Homo-oligomer: A and B are copies of this chain.
Amino acid sequence: MRARIEDVAREAGVSPKTVSRVLNNEPNVRNEMRERILAAVEMLGYRPNPSARSLASNRAFLVALLYDNPSPHYVMEVQQGALEACDAHQYSMMVRPLVSGAPDFVERVDVLISQFRPDGLLLTPPICDHPALLDMLRTRNVPWASISPKNYTEGVGATLDERSASCEMVLHLASLGHRRIAHITGHPTHGGNVWRLRGYRDGLEQAHLAYDPELVVEGRFSFDSGVAGARRLFALEHRPTAIFGANDDTAAGILWAAAERGLKVPKDLSVCGFDDIPLARQVWPALTTVRQPSQDMGRIAAMQLLRTIKSGKPGQMVSVPYTLRLRQSTGAAPRRVRP
């Protein structure tokens, strides 16, 4: 049978409670004692029983990651990073896919909380911007951390300056000579969408290009919405020479639609995306995009959440850096626009 705390206590010649103190990093244990106990733990290969721990302490040592996201790669990256942070702090993590548009969405999370009693939640877009959910969490006093929330000036979590990144991207296109730069937006309820769109407008302004509403098409952060959006833009009388997709999936759709129409990228059309998922390198030509360190963001948000849980004081909203990845899908604007 596996070692219990009592065995460690006997081995170290102390009471179980003292062992418990050491394991939980509680103060008021002499150093000598602490070391003796840690040695005994090591020797017996002791691991606390999480169920007993959580039953007795009424803490679950559990963080739940909630997602509702069309991009498995993104979720996977965030999950990986969050898992790293949880492991490092001896917390376990559960994952839960959800449909944030479902009528019983908030209730489902409520059930989840009463069932598993997680110490905190990790929210990805668009869940992190769901007002009713956040209200419920506040009421139930459950801490949470957000990844890329719409409002990045408060709360706990990790963000990226999507507005500046988008602005830079548009300036890059402008510097290549593009004058008609279109944008296929993300899902209107995603926080990211708001900032990427705003950054697009910033970029136009800074490049002294007029904003033309005709050139902004609503998408859904998906491949299909990229295809559909690009088809609409191609049908314009005066079509754009560059299209900025709100994410890489969208941009891949644009590329696909361009190929369908026989347009050469980047000769006839420049295309760029956002996120730098593997797909960005796997399409032809490889996508110019903004690298977003999703895994780091997952790790950082989880760390801030754990800090909040442990200290009771809210952690920070950490901004992580982005990088422009210039690849083959963007190039000089064509002299003359082919239909």
Contacts and interface: CB of A to CB of B under 8 A. Distances in A.
Interface of A: 2, 45, 47, 49-55, 60, 72-73, 75-77, 79-80, 83, 92-97, 111, 114-117, 223, 249, 252-253, 255-256, 259-260, 278-279, 281-285
Given A60-B51, A97-B80, A284 B282 contact: no
10 contacts: A55-B55, A72-B77, A76-B76, A80-B97, A92-B94, A223-B281, A249-B282, A252-B282, A256-B283, A259-B285
Nearest to A52: B55
A92 B77 CA distance: 21
A47 B223 CA distance: 41
A97 B83 contact: yes
A255 B94 CA distance: 37
Given A60-B51, A282-B249, A282-B283, A95 B72 contact: no
A223 B279 CA distance: 10
B95 A95 contact: yes
Nearest to A74: B72
A140 B132 CA distance: 46
Counting every copy of the chain, the complex holds: 2
A60 B49 CA distance: 11
A46 B8 CA distance: 36
A284 to B, nearest CB: 4
B284 A256 contact: yes
Contacts of A49: 55, 117
A77 B73 CA distance: 11
A73 B277 CA distance: 12
Contact of A76 (B47, B75, B92): B75
Top 7 closest pairs, chain A to chain B, by CB = A72-B76, A259-B284, A51-B55, A51-B54, A51-B51, A72-B73, A47-B115
B94 A94 contact: yes
A95 B67 CA distance: 15
Contacts of A80: 97
Contacts of A285: 259
A289 B284 CA distance: 19
Contacts of A278: 223
Contacts of A282: 223, 249, 252-253, 256, 279, 283
A50 B2 CA distance: 20
Nearest to A73: B72
Nearest to A277: B72
A77 B72 CA distance: 8
A114 B45 CA distance: 10
B72 A111 contact: no
Nearest to A54: B51
A115 B278 CA distance: 34
A154 to B, nearest CB: 30
A44 to B, nearest CB: 11
